[in-house]
Amino acid sequence: MKRLLPYVALAVALFLLTNIPQARAYPKPSVNKIAWELDFQHATPSRITVRVPGSDAPKAYWYMPFTVTNNTNDEQQFLPIIELVDDKGNVHRSDQNIPTQVFDAIKMREGKKLMEPLAKVSGRILAGADQARDSVAIWPEPLERMGSFTIFVTGLSGEAVWFKDGQETPLSKADWVKTKPEEAGNILRKTLQLDIQVPGDEFYQGRDKVIKKGEAWVMR
């Protein structure tokens, strides 16, 4: 009987492994472009301190300048959502109640005369390199020690999928007429992910080097 125990244990283990529901792979962007896509050139995020009305001391902000160009053959709608996720998992959407003095200070520092606030570049964007728009995403500094953080830029591509119960369907093929709101699942869009690292500590803010660790397209 003792000799049979190892074989019984092995059989049970194999049974459990083969009967565990297999997690379906999370959707990934198509290898080849299947929808319109805007060109997005960005600088490495930077830190700036600005004295704003109502504050006794300068406040710290992070920002990322960028240029967006529509190199497709048609006019597109550029409706960006740019979020910073800190190393504690908190999500911070850019350009929420940012004083105009902060944008003005960034524009002066960067020396870009054509730079516009994010709200002004949102909307239709005409085709052609001569129609490129300069803008910037801005956040109040979320943590004294930034460490590692990630920036997600949504709105650069028309590729999207409907993801529900592990199944993905191209958004254009989803049958919304037969779908109840409580069964809608998630709509995932092709999103640019930028991974950033700031080595150092909270005692030398603004002097630590900002390093771009990676860039990739994801569905989010």
Predicted confidence (pLDDT) per residue in 73-115, tens digit = 999 999 999 999 999 999 999 999 999 999 999 999 999 999 9
Give 136-174 pLDDT, tens digit per residue.
Answer: 999 999 998 999 999 999 999 999 988 776 666 666 655
Residue-averaged pLDDT of the chain: 85
Burial class (CB in 10 A: 0-12, 13-18, 19+), 3: exposed
* pLDDT at residue 220 greater than cutoff 60: yes
Q: What DSSP element (H or E) covers 7?
A: helix 5-18
Tell me which of 6 and 129 has the higher pLDDT.
129
Tell me which of 130 and 185 has the higher pLDDT.
130
